[in-house]
Structure 1
Amino acid sequence: MVIGGDAAGMSAASQARRLRGPDELEIVAFERGHFSSFSACGIPYWVGGDVPERDRLIARTPEEHRARDIDLRMRTEVVEIDVEGARVRVRDVESGAESWTSYDKLVIATGARPIRPVLPGVDAPGVHGVQTLDDGQALLDTLSTTKGRRAVVVGAGYIGVEMAEALINRGYEVTVVNRGKEPMSTLDPDMGRLVHRAMAGMGITMVDDAEVTKVLTGDDGRVRAVATDDAEYPADVVVLGIGVRPETELAKAAGLPVGDHGGLLTDLSMRVRGHDDIWAGGDCVEVLDLVTGRERHIPLGTHANKHGQVIGSNVGGGYATFPGVVGTAVSKVCDLEIARTGLREKDARRAGLQYVTVTIESTSRAGYYPGAAPMTVKMLAERRTGRLLGVQIVGREGAGKRVDIAAVALTAGMTVEQMTVLDLGYAPPFSPVWDPILVAARKAATAVRSSAS
């Protein structure tokens, strides 16, 4: 039995079905929404017009899952898990009818829920979150019917900056209100400052170190502005991009273990700790950080699909493990690319690690080759050992995916000295003779040596 019909849940169901036929294993999945196996990460690009239609974001429809002998029941919500009785209580979203269904093996893939602050006016027409395809369609409907062209995005993390781009593409005047001192709190402040400057240069009004206190409405009840302690910002539409939390209320009520970040705790096989017949994966779990050895909550579709593969293999009679992550993510706003992997400075301090940092400026291609674009690379390495701890990149076209080099180096436990001799591909259209990652590694290796003297 699977709770949740998106990435982790349906990947688990599909992998289990590959290993075991319908005569050997019955698979039932419950999904409370209208869509299965869709890309939430693609919603900003659909809203912005880069993806022309909603259905391109759907990897596999309910009908396609059912054709593979997976009994996927849409618009059906699980409202209670009875661990002792090995059963769940389900509710038909349309009719409200409830019933109990028993399981032998349970997979929890309930995902994450958007953070929606408790503010006056936050539920007014024109205020939108963006987590599901239904959310995206509701926002598009508002954009197509609203006469004004002023938008406020609340939050400046991945969702916030991507939605700022989407609204710019739709021809809106965009203001981003961010409670942090700089956008992209997943970066160190000095790198976030680069993002601020670039976004301001795109015509986006950046309001940092400010918290929205209420949403103001007009005589028609629709949103007309958002207010902070110091100012009001006119808005014909408001998009909430504050982030998400693990959707684990159902699991906590059933007595299942959760971590400090609110996510379910599993072992390496993605089995919920202390429960032989319950697995969990996707945005509702915490994962092992391979750099610090601690648990983290990192809601990404890449992880969710891998979790599902591991769970499906184990439920289907095979064997697989998920060893952990290094915290790699990449995003963009217009032509600015933003990437990070590993630890920020405050992460390293929290973990009790001593470190050195270096920052370098380079270009995406040989400087003389047409289209060479600037980028900034920041690298953290552990003092004395020189072990790579983290990398952050902010730049133009060709910058972001370079973070993958660092992600592999982190996973392998490489030192910055070892990274300096990596045999990376070179030609003037693709990189300078010394790739920016290698330039940063050379500078970091020098800093490590200096710190030891």
Structure 2
Amino acid sequence: MSERLVVIGGDAAGMSAASQARRLKKPGELEIVAFERGHFTSFSACGIPYWVGGDVEERDDLIARSPEAHRERAIDVRMRTEVVEIDARERRVRSRDLASGAEEWTAYDKLVIATGARPLRPDLPGIDAPGVHGVQTLDDGQALLDTLTKTKGRRAVVIGAGYIGVEMAEALLHRGYEVTVVNRAQEPMSTLDPDMGRLVHEAMTGMGITMVNDAEVTKILTGEDGRARAVATDDREFPADVVVLGIGVRPETALARDAGLPVGEHGGLLTDLGMRVRGPVADGAIWAGGDCVEVLDLVSGRHRHIALGTHANKHGQVIGSNVGGGYATFPGVVGTAVSKVCDLEIARTGLREKDARAAGLQYVAVTIESTSRAGYYPGAALMTVKMLAERRTGRLLGTQIVGREGAGKRVDVAAVALTARMTVEQMTALDLGYAPPFSPVWDPVLVAARKAVTAVRAGGA
């Protein structure tokens, strides 16, 4: 007898789960129905800044698989249809067609919640004025591009200086705008420690971006036409022909909360290692993945909310395998992320200093400067590496890298070391690739590890 899998959300986690389940179960064994309230499935939200900035030419280049392609694989994708209620007791969901308003109930044997995250949109005067844009979906990206095409002025204000904020600052700079970034934190990129964020600040200023830190936006000022004309803080106004929100996201879990499903301290759904939602209400029939869940931090042992497509796709693979009768787990993350603003590469993995303190860990922190290649080889670029290690054991706790070409992906070495729970002394023996065009004799990550070893020994380990 055929079972029915219902998927809520048609992007990375949801459609990866549906596709993997379909690989394992034929249509006669498993019916798959997926609901998506937007216009697109399986798209790269991470690529939107590069599309807006012109590095990616076409919107469709960001779409991995269209609704039609999913339907050809016997996945019943229902677009522009929003699930508005989960009835876990009766194992059914209520959906609404956004065009007609018609509603219907759909029963499920197994349910996947992949509702993603919602951009933070503070309740400020003028926040909904024309000319103010978020950048979460392809529709958002198209709306922003339309505004950039129509707007005669060339002044842009980005609110927020996290990953989205700095990437959108670059995109607008490429479009020929005068860019101001208004940031409530001490330095941009609060995913870094402030001393490393300061390097990002200095580099962005050098690119011609105006950085305003320690500033709280109080309102969006509008003109006589109702459009945004400036961003105001307590003591200043910043003229703007377009405003872009890059404040961050929160798990989209209102639907799950209303159904009585458990959420964590960061607002994300709580799952087991197989991505099955915990608790008696789920009754073993509900899975969740992507930006709407919390994940285990393998370094601190705490749960975190990290909105990244890499995790979402892995969650989907795990869910699809388990729903389809196989077996897979998602053990957790170490918090690896890379980004860039123009030619500056920014990377981190593991814990920041404040994370280590919050986890009750005693640590040493070291910072080194090195180059991406042998110093005598043409194109060698400076980079700064900061490394944290546990004081007594020497276990690696985190690494941050800021530099030019060749800096960002070096963080992967540290990510592997964190996952393997290596000490910084063990890292110094890693047999990394060397040739003058690629690295100094001592790779910058290993230089930092050597300095961390010295600091650990001096600390009484």
User: How high is the TM-score relative to the length of structure 2?
Assistant: 0.98
Find the aligned partners of 2:9 and 2:225 in 1 and give their Cα distance: 37
Which residue of 149, 162, 165 corresponds with 1:157?
Answer: 162
How many residues were matched structurally? Answer: 453
- Amino acid of the structure 2 residue aligned with 1:18: R
| Corresponding position of 1:281 | 289
How much does 1:201 deviate? 0.4
- Amino acid of the structure 2 residue aligned with 1:95: S
How much does 1:116 deviate? 0.3
Secondary structure at the aligned position of 1:200 is classed as helix
Tell me if 1:384 matches 2:401. Answer: no
How much does 1:107 deviate? 0.2
Tell me if 1:137 matches 2:142. Answer: yes
1:24-173 to 2 correspondence within 5 Å?
24-173=29-178
How much does 1:157 deviate? 0.1
How much does 1:16 deviate? 0.3
How much does 1:100 deviate? 0.6
| Corresponding position of 1:334 | 342
Which residue of 213, 218, 223 corresponds with 1:218?
Answer: 223
Find the aligned partners of 2:228 and 2:296 in 1 and give their Cα distance: 41
Find the aligned partners of 1:430 and 1:8 in 2 and give their Cα distance: 35
Secondary structure at the aligned position of 2:244 is classed as strand
| Corresponding position of 1:345 | 353
How much does 1:230 deviate? 1.0
Aligned Cα root-mean-square deviation (Å): 0.5
Find the aligned partners of 2:98 and 2:399 in 1 and give their Cα distance: 45
| Corresponding position of 1:412 | 420
| Corresponding position of 1:324 | 332
Find the aligned partners of 2:220 and 2:298 in 1 and give their Cα distance: 41
Tell me if 1:425 matches 2:430. Answer: no
How much does 1:337 deviate? 0.3
> Cα deviations across residues 210-247 of structure 1 (Å, max 9, x unaligned)?
01100001111111100000100000000000000000
Where in structure 1 do 4 or more consecutive aligned residues deviate above 2 Å?
none
Which residue of 434, 440, 444 corresponds with 2:442?
Answer: 434
Find the aligned partners of 1:345 and 1:95 in 2 and give their Cα distance: 52
Find the aligned partners of 1:230 and 1:415 in 2 and give their Cα distance: 48
Find the aligned partners of 1:348 and 1:292 in 2 and give their Cα distance: 7
Tell me if 1:252 matches 2:257. Answer: yes
Which residue of 361, 367, 377 corresponds with 1:359?
Answer: 367
Find the aligned partners of 2:448 and 2:241 in 1 and give their Cα distance: 44
> Cα deviations across residues 388-426 of structure 1 (Å, max 9, x unaligned)?
000000000000000000000000000000000100000
> Cα deviations across residues 332-387 of structure 1 (Å, max 9, x unaligned)?
00000000000000000000000000000000000000000000000000011000
Find the aligned partners of 2:278 and 2:225 in 1 and give their Cα distance: 51
Find the aligned partners of 1:229 and 1:130 in 2 and give their Cα distance: 26
Find the aligned partners of 1:80 and 1:24 in 2 and give their Cα distance: 26
Q: Extract unaligned runs of 5+ from structure 1.
A: none
Find the aligned partners of 1:97 and 1:16 in 2 and give their Cα distance: 29
Secondary structure at the aligned position of 1:369 is classed as coil
Tell me if 1:305 matches 2:310. Answer: no
How much does 1:69 deviate? 0.3
Which residue of 202, 208, 212 corresponds with 1:203?
Answer: 208
> Cα deviations across residues 272-300 of structure 1 (Å, max 9, x unaligned)?
00230000000000000000111100000
> Cα deviations across residues 240-266 of structure 1 (Å, max 9, x unaligned)?
000000000000000000000000000
Find the aligned partners of 1:57 and 1:254 in 2 and give their Cα distance: 33
Find the aligned partners of 1:230 and 1:363 in 2 and give their Cα distance: 41
- Amino acid of the structure 1 residue aligned with 2:437: P
How much does 1:436 deviate? 0.1
Find the aligned partners of 1:175 and 1:63 in 2 and give their Cα distance: 41
Find the aligned partners of 2:173 and 2:405 in 1 and give their Cα distance: 18
Find the aligned partners of 2:153 and 2:216 in 1 and give their Cα distance: 24
| Corresponding position of 2:3 | none
- Amino acid of the structure 2 residue aligned with 1:145: K
- Amino acid of the structure 2 residue aligned with 1:383: R
